[in-house]
Amino acid sequence: MVITTTAIFPTMNIDGYDFTTTSGDFSIGSMTVFFDNGQYNCAALPVTLTSWNVQARQVNGLYQINFTWQTGSEANSCYYSIEQYIDGSFKGGICKVPAAGQSSSTKNYSYDYLYPSPGNFQQFRLKMVDQDGAVKYSLIKTVNINNCSGCFRTPRSCNISIIGPATVCSGAGNYTLTSLNTNDITWSLSSTGSFFGNCDNSATVSANGSGSEILTANVSGCTNPISKTITMGAGNANFSHTLWPDGYLAAYAELVPGATYQWELNLGTNGTYYEAGSNVSFQLPPCSGGALRLYVTTSCGTVSNGVTVWRNCNEYYYMAAPTQTSDNVKIKARPKDATPNAKGGNEELPFIKEIIVYDNYRNIKLRKTYAAKTNYVDLNVSTLAPGNYLVEIKTEKGREVHRIQVIR
């Protein structure tokens, strides 16, 4: 029998190799096996492993692998994980079993892996982790599983969810799953927060700034990731807004889970207006302006943000009747005023080049272009459903927007 190795195993004082201090591939005849006696390669843990067994068997015609192990004593142990040798290295993902922590008596552990694949010389090892993060490995166990039709389960979509607070105002929140807590779970967080996995297979998420985070658990044996949205701190009051030339003001809040929204528009002598909801609109009269402020309230408190808005006195050359009960909208020049060179006054009237009608979501509902010199349009709106619309008039000198309401 010929034994060859790709790693430099030390030789013993008699013919052969010493496998107690090195890991690597070695071949016996035509069979190559990876050997890793990790219990010698890593710092010693305060865990006495007295037995470690791996057995593949069929239960009700379906293959599963039964893992059992026993400890004689434990001090500050955190959890056990089972790893499988795949594509040149050991990988986790089979299970994560919480450890006893402190024990001076015999402790028995077991786990039934229901999703094995067929194949000979499948290798497994037990990973032992203490509460300080130190790691120790067991000896490697090998099993053979014959291929047969209908003998293997396939991973499924799991009906489980993450339990824990929807808002972490400050400090940290603890999260677990509704079931399957002995399966291997890989936790991840979307962006700015911080988290760590606990010895009982849960996760702790620490508040870091404000905003929302998505906590995700990928569970062995489940095809679907399990996620939960968490609000950090009091959230934010970020918003965007648009003030159209006709005084129509639309504002859109950045959504914060579980929040309520209150808007305040203070126009000074023109009054103060309040609206609730994440998206709102106001109508500013000419020559007016003031402060638009958003208040966002969550279980952590209230935050606010504001901007200054202003509508000029003379913004447009044309006018459109605000309420339309017929099929035509008459668009014509504004009456002249006594102000020299004011729009609609003595300044030369620009010609209309294009008219576009939008709904409140900025979807184009109607578009007309004009090649001839036009100062008057009888716009047919018979195809529009009853509701509010924005009419954009493009001229030689720019654009102006009017708000109309169609009533049938």
The CATH number covering residue 216 comes to: 2.60.40
pLDDT higher than 80, residue 175 = yes
Q: Are residues 48 and 108 in the same domain?
A: yes
Same domain? 110 vs 72: yes
Q: Is residue 305 included in any domain, yes or no?
A: yes
* Mean of pLDDT values over 229-257: 85
Q: How confident is the model at residue 306 (pLDDT cuts 50, 70, 90)?
A: very high
Q: What's the number of domains the chain is made of?
A: 4
CATH of the domain at 264: 2.60.40.10
pLDDT-based confidence at residue 181 (cuts at 50, 70, 90):
low
Does pLDDT of 340 surpass 50?
no
Q: Which residue has the higher pLDDT, 108 or 198?
A: 108
Does residue 27 lie in a domain region? Answer: no
Q: Predicted confidence band at 33 (pLDDT cuts at 50, 70, 90)?
A: low
Least confident stretch, 20-34, 92-106, 133-147, 172-186: 20-34
Q: What average pLDDT is seen over the chain?
A: 82
Instruction: Tell me the pLDDT band of 400, cut-offs 50, 70 and 90.
Output: confident
Residue 12 within a domain:
no
| pLDDT number for residue 32 | 53
- Asked if residue 75 and residue 129 are part of one domain, the reply reads yes
pLDDT of 88 > 70? The answer is: yes
Is the per-residue pLDDT at 289 higher than 80?
yes
pLDDT at 4: 53
Pairwise CA distance, residues 123 & 344, whole Å? 86
- Which domain range does residue 368 map to? 318-406
- Are the CB atoms for 276 and 260 separated by under 8 Å? yes
Q: Specify if 7 maps to a domain.
A: no
Residues 63-92: what's their mean pLDDT? 92
Same domain, 66 and 130: yes
Asked if the model's pLDDT at residue 36 lies above 90, the reply is: no
Assigned domain for 28 exists? no
pLDDT category at 326 given cuts 50, 70, 90 is confident
Last residue in a domain, options 274, 293, 311: 311
Asked if residue 244 and residue 214 are part of one domain, the reply reads no
Confidence of residue 124 (pLDDT cuts 50, 70, 90): very high
Quote the pLDDT of residue 403.
83
Q: For residue 296, what pLDDT band results from cuts at 50, 70 and 90?
A: very high
pLDDT tens digits along 238-247:
999 988 767 8
Residue 90 has pLDDT above 60, yes or no: yes
Residue 1 has pLDDT above 50, yes or no: no
Q: Is 50 exceeded by the pLDDT of residue 42?
A: no
Residue 16 is assigned to a structural domain of this protein: no
96 or 121: which carries more pLDDT confidence? 121
**What's this model's pTM, rounded to 2 decimal places?**
0.47
Least confident piece of the model among 27-31, 64-68, 84-88, 292-296: 27-31
Backbone φ and ψ for 154, nearest 5 degrees, come out as -115, 145
pLDDT surpassing 90 at residue 59: yes
Q: Residue 200 above 50 pLDDT?
A: yes
Residue 210: the pLDDT is 67
Residue 108 lies in a domain: yes
Please report the pLDDT score of residue 195 as a whole number. 67
Which residue do the tokens 């009960």 mark?
Answer: 325
pLDDT-based confidence at residue 338 (cuts at 50, 70, 90): very low
Region 114-125 average pLDDT? 93
CATH (domain of 350): 2.60.40.3080
Q: For residues 397 and 275, which has the higher predicted lDDT (pLDDT)?
A: 275
**Predicted confidence (pLDDT) at residue 23 exceeds the cutoff of 60:** no
**Residue 222 belongs to a domain:** yes
What pLDDT, in 10s, does the model give residues 143-157? 999 999 999 988 888
Note the pLDDT of residue 291: 95
